[in-house]
Chain A
Amino acid sequence: MIGAADVAVDTELPERVFRVTRADLVRYAGASGDFNPIHWNERVATGVGLPGVIAHGMFTMALAGRAVTDWTGNPGALLEYQVRFGRPVVVPDDDSGAEVIVRGRVAALLEEDRVRVDLTVTAGGEKVLSLARAVVRLT
């Protein structure tokens, strides 16, 4: 586990690359209860003007959160977490899917062994989340 003494402002989190396939979206739909067809049905997605089936924004948020909680080693220590959904992650109907890349850095040291982590989340070279930040407690 990472402790407060191990980090400073600008400490970088390990870069994470998450591969997202259509099967992942179906699994997330079932687990989360969000069955909006734009996340699994090409016909509906293109019918509402999307380039294709897109990932749930909350799924992308969950993956970016893992970059933080896998780093701290304690999912229960994520105290605050926010994102703005900028661009959709388009997930092609093939075996390799889309690639979501998460980078993070410590942006501020706070009281009581807490730190703020700012995240940069991209897919296909474009930022998909903005204002993505988390406050975590390090022990």
Chain B
Amino acid sequence: MALDRTLVGRSYPPSAVYEVGRAKLAEFATAIGSDDPVHRDPEAARAAGYPDVIAPPTFAIAVTLEAAMVVLDDPDVGIDYSRVVHGEQRFTHHRPIRAGDRLVATTTIDAARSVAGNDLLTARVDLTTEDGEAVCTSLSMLVARGDS
């Protein structure tokens, strides 16, 4: 089924608050093999000019990809989750995510097109603090492979 181009621009209600914890950031840093102390030692983070430990740059995906799933749950989009692969990813960091942040994710369909039987859908997720400070913008291009 070809994607309905009028879906572009559709926005979904903001997510529940995601509270960023120090232990989660340290766990993520360890998982990607980074031993940089700015991810786990608040003193080192402060010495580097940050109020608290900061996230590795791709940590944002742990918050944004789940938020983007709201698009696949939209019956108007009609994409079968089991056929979806991650095609492209882009982050724009307005400032590093840090421990103590209370983040809200707002998802918008940024692009939708069908190419050679595959549906390509780009979900934009804007991460802000609860108070509305812009933190990160994520663009995830999801590819739903055609049946053939």
Contacts and interface: CB of A to CB of B under 8 A. Distances in A.
Interface of A: 18, 24, 27-28, 30-34, 57-59, 61-63, 65-66, 69-70, 74-76, 78-85, 131
21 contacts: A18-B33, A24-B33, A31-B28, A32-B31, A32-B62, A33-B62, A58-B58, A58-B61, A58-B86, A63-B32, A75-B36, A75-B38, A75-B56, A76-B50, A76-B96, A78-B93, A80-B92, A81-B91, A81-B93, A85-B88, A85-B89
A74 B89 contact: no
A65 B58 contact: yes
Determine the main DSSP class of A at the interface with B.
helix
Interface string B49-89: 01000101110011001100000000000000000011111
Interface of B: 24, 27-28, 30-34, 36, 38-39, 48, 50, 54, 56-58, 61-62, 65-66, 85-93, 95-96, 139
Contacts of B66: 33
Contacts of B61: 32, 58
A29 B50 CA distance: 28
Contacts of A74: 38, 48
B76 to A, nearest CB: 25
Given A34-B65, A69-B57, A78-B57, 19 more contacts: A27-B30, A30-B27, A30-B31, A31-B27, A31-B28, A32-B62, A61-B89, A62-B56, A69-B34, A69-B36, A75-B38, A75-B57, A75-B96, A76-B48, A80-B91, A81-B91, A82-B88, A84-B88, A85-B87
B25 to A, nearest CB: 10
Contacts of B32: 28, 31, 59, 62-63, 66
Nearest to A66: B34
Contacts of A82: 88-91, 139
